[in-house]
Amino acid sequence: MKILVIGTGAREHAIIHSLHRETAAGTAAHELHAAPGNPGIAALATLHTVDPLDGAAVTALAEQVGAELVVVGPEAPLVAGVADSVRAAGIPVFGPSGEAARLEGSKSFAKEVMAAAGVPTAMAHVCTDVDELEAALDAFGAPYVVKDDGLAAGKGVVVTDDRAQALAHGAACLAHEGGRVVVEEYLDGPEVSLFCVCDGATVVPLVPAQDFKRVGDGDAGPNTGGMGAYTPLDWAPSGLVQEVVSRIAQPTVDEMARRGTPFSGVLYVGLALTSRGTRVVEFNARFGDPETQSVLARLATPLSEVMLAAARGGLAGLEPLRWRSEASVTVVVASEGYPASARSGDPVTGVEDAEALPGVHVLHAGTGLTETGELVSAGGRVLSVVALGSDLADARRRAYEGVARIELKGSHHRTDIARAAERGEVSVP
Ligand code: AMP
Ligand code: GLY
């Protein structure tokens, strides 16, 4: 199949890596294209230049390469309606319409859909001025949870005990045009990401994963796009996936269909397992990064079959997904200064050495090439080192051996990805 993947991150590299593996295993013969892609993706796919936010340009590219499936990775093009343009041209596309992607694009819209569908989530107030903001902060009390209503690349949320900081963040969100801010009840308990593949009607859950959003060990410091992930979650209740599908994902998909804006693609359900039960922290309308890197490493069913079935409305006819029994750990290597800033242009070496380790592969995100073809950093999250191992301890050890072989001046990474889970120290309150 000719497949075009839109995006530039390690998530898109993970998707391409999985599709390439199908060809390498001889179960399929794909011709892979990506735009804009990155230097890692370039080893497996033909790269094209395109503005990912321009639906007409993406559609023209898809037609030019004869794509039989287009996969839109990131949220910004989805919210901009790029999948609609491609779909309107009659090309199967994996990813929701712009209307359906509002589940991620507007936190207040997501809250409205959840309320209509009876989905358990944090209580919330939507505020449009500072008086409402202050009243909402005082109604819930500390810890304060303050979220920008719109897309903010993982940086729109502040969770803090400091009322002044909460107020300042909320006021900053209100300050931009049409600014709205959502103040929420604080959810205790560990977080879980569950990706649900949807075709507008049917929901097929992948395996749950856990993400590490804060920049530092022990969840210290500011939120980032995500510093690492692992799966499986041996500590999670055994009925969790079924519960999330029946109480959260399916009612949401049904509600979106009822509204005439069916949801297809990945409904990313971000959960907190709290003392009062399972609650939705957020919805996203796409695969999560870096959870995807770990989840897809374990998927034994060909990914292309899953994505094509979702794009064509055929998930009900898909065989149950098959999974590798190994555990998978992903550690993100970030550039100096991330997430506040990101140094670019420093040489990155050791990728091949890391990949020589058994069970280890390295996915690119913020990388670039110099004129002479040397790999350099070009963004905040530079690489994802992904390892499969017989259990979490084995996968962790391999992932960190891989990280140790990567050289990038000033880079940093968390050293505690999957550590609490490996030690049996994660519990649901
Ligand atoms: P979001 O962008 O909504 O996923 O929020 C980013 C991160 O902020 C989440 O992954 C949580 O770690 C934290 N967070 C968001 N909402 C809450 C909440 N209601 N209670 C506690 N932590 C939260
Ligand atoms: N892993 C967090 C996200 O993709 O939003």
- Residues 349-386 pLDDT 10s: 999 999 999 999 999 999 999 999 999 999 999 999 99
Within-domain flag for 100: no
pLDDT band at 28 (very low <50, low <70, confident <90, very high): confident
Q: Report the pLDDT value the prediction gives residue 356, as an integer from 0 to 100.
A: 98
Tokens of 71: 């996969």
Within-domain flag for 115: no
Within-domain flag for 246: yes
Catalogue the E-assigned strands of 239-370. 264-274, 277-284, 327-334, 348-349, 360-364, 367-369
Residues in the chain: 429
Same-domain check for residues 308 and 229:
yes
Distance 307 CA to ligand 2 centre (A): 19
Q: Report the pLDDT value the prediction gives residue 204, as an integer from 0 to 100.
A: 98
Query: Which DSSP letter does residue 23 get?
Result: H
Domain count, the chain: 4
For the cut 80, the answer to whether the pLDDT of residue 135 exceeds it is yes
> In a mutational test of the pocket of ligand 1, which residue from 108, 146, 159 has the highest number of ligand atoms less than 8 Å from its CB?
159
Same-domain check for residues 206 and 313:
yes
What letter represents residue 230's amino acid? Y
Give the strand order in the sheet containing 69-72.
46-47, 31-36, 2-7, 69-72, 93-94
Q: Report the pLDDT value the prediction gives residue 24, as an integer from 0 to 100.
A: 87
Average pLDDT (313-334) is: 98
> In a mutational test of the pocket of ligand 2, which residue from 211, 212, 331, 332 has the highest number of ligand atoms less than 8 Å from its CB?
211
Within-domain flag for 104: no
Q: Report the pLDDT value the prediction gives residue 155, as an integer from 0 to 100.
A: 64
Average pLDDT (58-80) is: 97
Within-domain flag for 400: yes
Check which CATH number belongs to the domain holding 49 and give it: 3.40.50.20
Average pLDDT (301-305) is: 97
Average pLDDT (385-397) is: 98
For the cut 70, the answer to whether the pLDDT of residue 316 exceeds it is yes
Query: Does the beta carbon of 15 sit less than 6 angstroms from any atom of ligand 1?
Result: no
Contact indicator for 208, 145 with CB cutoff of 8 Å: no
pTM beyond 0.85: the answer is yes
What letter represents residue 94's amino acid? F
For the cut 70, the answer to whether the pLDDT of residue 339 exceeds it is yes
Within-domain flag for 114: no
Same-domain check for residues 202 and 305:
yes
Same-domain check for residues 249 and 337:
no
**Among 184, 204, 219, residue at a domain's last position:** 184
**Among 94, 114, 141, residue at a domain's last position:** 94
Domain extent, residue 398, equals: 327-422
Same-domain check for residues 363 and 332:
yes
Q: Which ligand is nearest to the CA of 286?
A: 2
Same-domain check for residues 27 and 7:
yes
Query: Which DSSP letter does residue 80 get?
Result: T
> In a mutational test of the pocket of ligand 1, which residue from 109, 281, 282, 283 has the highest number of ligand atoms less than 8 Å from its CB?
281
Q: What is the mean pLDDT of the chain?
A: 96
Within-domain flag for 107: no
pLDDT in tens, 201-215: 999 999 999 999 999
Q: Report the pLDDT value the prediction gives residue 119, as an integer from 0 to 100.
A: 98
Within-domain flag for 111: no
Query: Does the beta carbon of 147 sit less than 6 angstroms from any atom of ligand 1?
Result: yes
pLDDT in tens, 226-284: 999 999 999 999 999 999 999 999 999 999 999 999 999 999 999 999 999 999 999 99
Query: Does the beta carbon of 199 sit less than 6 angstroms from any atom of ligand 1?
Result: no
pLDDT in tens, 150-171: 776 656 889 999 999 999 999 9
Query: Does the beta carbon of 151 sit less than 6 angstroms from any atom of ligand 2?
Result: no
Distance 154 CA to ligand 2 centre (A): 7
Concatenate the DSSP letters of all residues of 202-239 into one string. Answer: -EEE---BEE--EEEGGGEEEE-S-SEEEE--TTS-TT
Percent of the chain with pLDDT over 70: 99
Nearest to 227 by CA among 91, 383, 331: 331
Q: Report the pLDDT value the prediction gives residue 102, as an integer from 0 to 100.
A: 97
d(CA 324, CA 359): 13
Average pLDDT (422-429) is: 93
Check which CATH number belongs to the domain holding 173 and give it: 3.30.1490.20
Check which CATH number belongs to the domain holding 363 and give it: 3.90.600.10
Same-domain check for residues 416 and 331:
yes
Same-domain check for residues 283 and 332:
no
Average pLDDT (182-197) is: 95
d(CA 106, CA 284): 10
